[in-house]
């Protein structure tokens, strides 16, 4: 069964943090702590209920074990919690989590005000009436998020009225912003972290 974790003061600006297919790893906790120290209330729906994977095969197995309806409801429940605060909020996700963040953008008036997407995304399926900014952090040539998929995501968000900005981290690969992952790249991570914190400061 999934769980929801919360980090930071409840009165601070909210960020919904959506984990990659590894689960809520130490890398996700690191990002949550960083965001909380920067003055944000971070809500983290754990679709795996504390289980983790450290190999691609293990992550694929965890995904296959999910009860999709229950896992989707958990993310929606967390988004409802954040939206109910009545303040502008950000959906930030890594890989699988970024894909889900784009889904939340299609929630209409209860969607996030901004998206922060790491190496994944999709065209939102529902009405995008609230999301007005999306920032993508991608690895050029990423087989998990191809150039065509990047362009499709960018075009859909722009068509919906969002301002889209894309940062490309040359020489990096998928998972570059997750310490301990197979693709971690410290230089790319440090640059992405500074850009995320700057975006949130200006939000």
Residues 102-115 have pLDDT tens digits of 999 999 999 999 99
Contact 89, 112 (CB under 8 A): yes
Q: What pLDDT sits at residue 62?
A: 82
Query: At residue 1, does pLDDT exceed 70?
Result: no
* 1 Cβ contact list (under 8 Å, min separation 6): 49, 70
Domain that holds residue 97: 3-202
> Distance between CA 14 and CA 109 in Å, rounded?
16
> Distance between CA 95 and CA 150 in Å, rounded?
12
Q: What pLDDT sits at residue 202?
A: 75
Q: What pLDDT sits at residue 177?
A: 98
Q: What pLDDT sits at residue 68?
A: 67
Q: Look at the chain and count its residues.
A: 203
Provide the domain count of the chain: 1
Residue 34, strand partner residues? none
Give the global pTM: 0.95
CATH number at residue 198: 3.40.50.1820
Residue 114, strand partner residues? 90, 133
Kindly indicate the confidence band of residue 24, based on its pLDDT and cuts at 50, 70 and 90.
very high
Tokens standing for 165? 């900005």
* 31 Cβ contact list (under 8 Å, min separation 6): 17, 92, 177
The model's pLDDT over 86-104, given as tens digits with 9 standing for 90+, comes to: 999 999 999 999 999 999 9
Kindly indicate the confidence band of residue 61, based on its pLDDT and cuts at 50, 70 and 90.
confident
* 147 Cβ contact list (under 8 Å, min separation 6): 140, 141
- Strands 41-46 and 3-7: what pairing? antiparallel
Q: What pLDDT sits at residue 72?
A: 81
What DSSP state is assigned to residue 170?
A: T
């Amino acid at each position: 069964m999934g769980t929801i974790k919360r980090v930071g003061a409840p009165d601070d600006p909210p960020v919904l943090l959506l984990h990659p297919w590894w689960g809520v790893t130490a890398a996700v906790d690191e990002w949550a702590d960083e965001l909380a120290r920067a003055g944000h209330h971070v809500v983290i729906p754990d679709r795996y209920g504390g289980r983790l994977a450290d190999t691609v095969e293990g992550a694929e197995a965890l995904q296959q074990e999910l009860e999709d309806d229950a896992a989707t409801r958990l993310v929606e429940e967390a988004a409802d919690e954040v939206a109910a605060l009545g303040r502008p909020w950000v959906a930030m996700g890594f890989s699988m989590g970024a894909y889900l963040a784009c889904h939340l953008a299609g929630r209409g008036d209860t969607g996030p005000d901004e998206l922060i997407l790491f190496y994944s995304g999709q065209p939102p399926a529902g009405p995008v009436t609230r999301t007005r900014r999306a920032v993508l952090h991608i690895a050029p040539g990423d087989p998990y998020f191809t150039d065509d998929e990047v362009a499709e995501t960018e075009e859909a968000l722009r068509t919906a009225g969002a301002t889209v900005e894309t940062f490309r981290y040359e020489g990096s690969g998928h998972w570059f912003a997750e310490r301990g992952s197979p693709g971690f790249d410290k230089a790319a991570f440090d640059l992405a972290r500074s850009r995320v914190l700057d975006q949130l400061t200006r939000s």
